Chains A and B, each alone.
Chain A
């Protein structure tokens, strides 16, 4: 049997909109994943520290405040600094296409925008985590 996917979900910055992240948490849980939700107002160092402590496969971030171009890069930097850049970073929120492309180029594995079915996020995560684990074995 394969090990359950462990995922950390977090709300960075000052934004308090948690409807989306709670829906995602329920959907991931019902899909058999182990979900840790950190709650609101987490700084990038807090999120990366929690991801390392919890030994997760992936970190999911939700931002609806428009601060995504500051917060995603800050989390990526922190991951590199802590040597945790093997952890997959993905996210969602009110994020214009232009910014989405830029973030995905920077190293965010995937950005989901309004209207995306939870099934897409589940499928993406299963595939991406499996691929990443296979790559690690090859290395």
Chain B
């Protein structure tokens, strides 16, 4: 990128500068200059930091132009000048009626997409009236048992107009089947239904741990759903391959990047092995990353992700359609970075994190609410979080030009480092026999636990300062923000409702559709089609999962996966 003579004189200047700087270098404002992930950062970055190995073609090979291979600068030609990112706030609590009200509130306040949080019984395939659901119903998301609940959840919301994201994995097929059931009732054709399903089971084994079945049948549920959507719901994003939870569980930025992409490649290889054409399904895959507190490291992570993905899709999987090369992603600010102490400070953390997502070229963003270490967010906290995005979009000026940090010696160098580190991790995963084998032995789980413990120790030793946690503490702090409480009555109401639906539905189709699901699960038919039939008959999530548990069994973690660090 730079002439040889220039680099030579730069290096001479640098060595003189280094000697002059040596005098002040012994005084340090901080004990260590390192990222949230524990990566040491150089004092200074210059053209010499990025061109040593790149040579003349460095710019076109590594950076290029937005909307062009390798997409380091963004997946679209004009990025936010044509369309801002989708401001998609994750919401869900209590009964479907309550969440429906929150959805409508977010849309009225200028939110441009919906994102659904489900409660743990729904995510784990238990009905609200199951013994294991006791105390969990409606607690960390909305309770959905049958199609009847989904009808209430989207009451008055036109599914042909609003894109819907659903954060659900083990029971993702059931959630999409219910949503399609609502679309049928609203008279919206499947081709017009838009949205995203998280549907990423691999990161459940790795980090979030909301799994039901063993990996092989779980991956089959996903590839069957992808196959169905390719044919009938073409605008649906079938998987959101997620690093978010991997990061929340304690991974470093590079681990998040590498593990997430490795999961993505595993799904792609599985779909190809199931006979699907890469260019038929790849354009509907999307990703989901965390925005943690280390500003530049995060931006480098997103830029590296796009480049690694484009290269692999083109060169390794032979995708011909440029849309298959695009890594599109959603971002959520880091819940694990928020503090319960002086919670108002979280507004500032979220603003910086959200800004890194935008400067990294995200397609959609969720900004966390300041009170999420205390409980589910209150309406006021959610509004501030949404306003934070609007301020970034309309006041800060960062959306005026595309990828404004490109060419920063630091950001480009860090982007290259991220890519190198991810490639090394891919090799390690291959050595262990691939993603599923590495999950079974507990490789990811132990590495993440180790990173989480290292981070905690850095805080406790005072190497790393966290405002309000190990420095700048307020004594006798009093909580001055409202905290949302989920009332006990919600569980009672939801249990009554699911019992009522089970009592009133026609038992004939319930039995035949469940029996069909059992046969399909045993054989090799499309499981999603069988699940959709069950959904239409008001079969519950728990009933479908019980049937599948009988056929496929349940997954439990190995001793290796449970190792602390």
Give chain A's interface residues, CB within 8 Å of chain B. Answer: 13-19, 22-23, 25-27, 29, 35, 37, 39-40, 43, 65-67, 69-71, 94, 96-97, 113-115, 117-119
Contact = CB atoms under 8 A, between A and B. Distances in A.
A65 to B, nearest CB: 5
B135 A115 contact: no
Given A22-B453, A66-B486, A94-B375, A13 B564 contact: no
A115 B340 contact: yes
A27 B456 CA distance: 10
B323 interface: no
Interface string B331-360: 000001011110000000000000000000
13 contacts: A14-B123, A19-B248, A23-B250, A23-B452, A23-B456, A26-B449, A26-B564, A27-B453, A35-B564, A69-B135, A114-B373, A118-B460, A119-B460
Nearest to B251: A19
Q: In terms of DSSP, what is the predominant structure of the interface of chain A?
A: loop
B134 interface: yes
A43 B562 CA distance: 17
Contacts of A96: 374-375, 483, 485
A37 B208 CA distance: 17
Contacts of B204: 16
Nearest to B450: A26
B460 to A, nearest CB: 5
Contacts of A16: 204, 208-210
B135 A13 contact: yes
Interface residues of B, number: 47
Contacts of A39: 556-557, 562
B449 to A, nearest CB: 4
A18 B204 CA distance: 12
B27 to A, nearest CB: 29
Contact of B135 (A29, A70, A94): A70
Contacts of B140: 65-66
Contacts of A37: 562, 564
B462 to A, nearest CB: 11
Given A94-B375, A115-B468, A14 B453 contact: no
Interface in B256-293: none
Given A14-B124, A16-B208, A115-B468, A67 B139 contact: yes
B136 interface: yes
Nearest to A69: B135
A137 to B, nearest CB: 32
Nearest to B341: A115
Contact of B479 (A40, A71, A97): A97
A103 to B, nearest CB: 13
Contacts of A18: 209, 249
A69 B121 CA distance: 17
Given A39-B562, A40-B209, A117-B459, 15 more contacts: A13-B135, A14-B126, A16-B208, A18-B209, A26-B453, A27-B456, A37-B562, A66-B376, A67-B134, A69-B135, A70-B136, A114-B338, A114-B373, A115-B341, A118-B456
A35 B565 CA distance: 13
B339 A114 contact: yes
B209 A25 contact: no
Given A13-B120, A70-B134, A97-B479, A19 B336 contact: yes
Contact of A115 (B133, B469, B485): B469
Q: 8 tightest A-B contacts by CB?
A: A70-B135, A16-B209, A66-B139, A25-B564, A67-B135, A14-B120, A114-B340, A22-B449
A67 B469 contact: no
Contacts of A66: 136, 139-140, 375-376, 486
